[in-house]
Amino acid sequence: MPEPSSKTKLRLLPPILTAHLFPKLDGKLIELLRSLAPGDWEKQTVSPKWRVKEVAAHLLDTALRGVSVGRDRYVAESPASPSTADLAAFINRLNCEGVTVYRRLSPVVLIGLLEAATKSLAEYHASRDPYAIASYGVSWAGEQKSPNWFDTAREFTERWHHQQQIRLAVSRSGIMTCELYHPVLDCFLQALPFTYRNVPAKPGTLVEINVVGECGGIWHLYRSEDSWQLIGEPFSRAVCEVTIPQEIAWRICTKGIDTESARAQVRVTGDTTLGLHVLAMVSIVA
């Protein structure tokens, strides 16, 4: 295939619009939590430090903070600097403090507060102009400035993957659907250019990532003259193809599976070293 023009290479991918999905996802969370037996709340999740109760507490904490910071423009404190390390330390501290407080609540109180908080958060995200610039960039994608749609999609992935952690712990399906999971994958994989930023390759190199399953899809990572970028259509034959089962794709992106276990389930054809760098992708602040 011919080398694409500069104009073609810079073609933007469509935005990932998720604000309308929050009420459905939140409704499934409340329904799930109300169905849990007392012992379910103590079950371990794939997050080593958190049981089901802690994950639910985290979802409450982040919903309340999201409404406070986003809707009310109330910022009580900020990270010491915009560096990746300081941001991660800041977020991790807030998360730990929030979980410590809200895990003390009874399940009934926790669920009631979650229902109110998630409703307010969904209303806030629905009110945003998706194309305006968000107050904070999506750091795991290497962005200092991001459009609101990306920030909203990032929040949607947070709420989806934590609910999925609970579902995995208690063996309940329900949100791994095309409607809810595909946009999560689409958002998570926006981290690919940043993940590959220091990986050398000739301009024109193409990596194909195929998440297999009814909720998956194919993404193309292209090396331009000076950077990697996701493109909508391939311009050349891929030098490697990476196949990831949809059941573990979200866990790879959220550090919910160890590299060795992921590698055993991921198939790479072509340039193995280049393809396996996908496993370094992290689509959360960590």
Residue ending a domain, choose from 175, 207, 230: 175
Residue 197 DSSP one-character state: T
Residue ending a domain, choose from 145, 175, 205: 175
Structure-token match 């790879």, residue found: 252
Of the candidates 16, 15, 6, 9, the residue with the CA atom closest to the CA atom of residue 228 = 9
Could you tell me if 147 and 40 lie in one domain? yes
Could you tell me if 234 and 261 lie in one domain? yes
Q: Report the percentage of the chain scoring pLDDT > 90.
A: 89
Question: Average pLDDT in the 216-222 region?
Answer: 97
State the CATH number of the domain containing residue 101.
Answer: 1.20.120.450
Could you tell me if 132 and 214 lie in one domain? no
Q: What is the pLDDT of residue 78?
A: 85
Q: What is the pLDDT of residue 13?
A: 84
Cα separation, 283 vs 104, in Å, equals: 29
Q: For 11-27, write each residue's pLDDT tens digit.
A: 568 999 999 999 999 99
* Better-predicted residue by pLDDT, 182 or 4: 182
Q: What is the pLDDT of residue 5?
A: 45
Cα separation, 73 vs 184, in Å, equals: 26
Q: For 114-157, write each residue's pLDDT tens digit.
A: 999 999 999 999 999 999 999 999 999 999 999 999 999 999 99
Structure tokens at 251: 């866990």
Could you tell me if 132 and 66 lie in one domain? yes
Total domains in the fold of the chain: 2
Query: 11 lies in a domain?
Result: no
Could you tell me if 119 and 60 lie in one domain? yes
Band (pLDDT 50/70/90 cuts) for residue 179 is very high
Could you tell me if 112 and 165 lie in one domain? yes
Of the candidates 178, 186, 217, 160, the residue with the CA atom closest to the CA atom of residue 13 = 186
pTM: 0.94
Domain of 159 in residue numbering reads as: 19-175
Cα separation, 67 vs 51, in Å, equals: 25
Is residue 67 within 8 Å of residue 128, measured between CB atoms?
no
Question: Average pLDDT in the 232-240 region?
Answer: 90
State the CATH number of the domain containing residue 198.
Answer: 3.30.1050.10
Q: Examine the pLDDT at 217 and tell me if it is beyond 80.
A: yes
Could you tell me if 34 and 145 lie in one domain? yes
Could you tell me if 160 and 212 lie in one domain? no
Q: For 158-175, write each residue's pLDDT tens digit.
A: 999 999 999 999 999 999
Q: Examine the pLDDT at 45 and tell me if it is beyond 90.
A: yes
Is residue 218 within 8 Å of residue 209, measured between CB atoms?
yes
Q: What is the pLDDT of residue 1?
A: 39
Could you tell me if 220 and 138 lie in one domain? no
Q: What is the pLDDT of residue 258?
A: 96
Mean pLDDT computed over every residue of the chain? 95
Question: What are the CA-CA distances from residue 54 to residues 69, 74, 124 (Å)?
Answer: 22, 25, 25
Of the candidates 259, 143, 273, 283, the residue with the CA atom closest to the CA atom of residue 201 = 273
Q: Examine the pLDDT at 8 and tell me if it is beyond 50.
A: no
Could you tell me if 78 and 169 lie in one domain? yes
Q: Examine the pLDDT at 276 and tell me if it is beyond 50.
A: yes
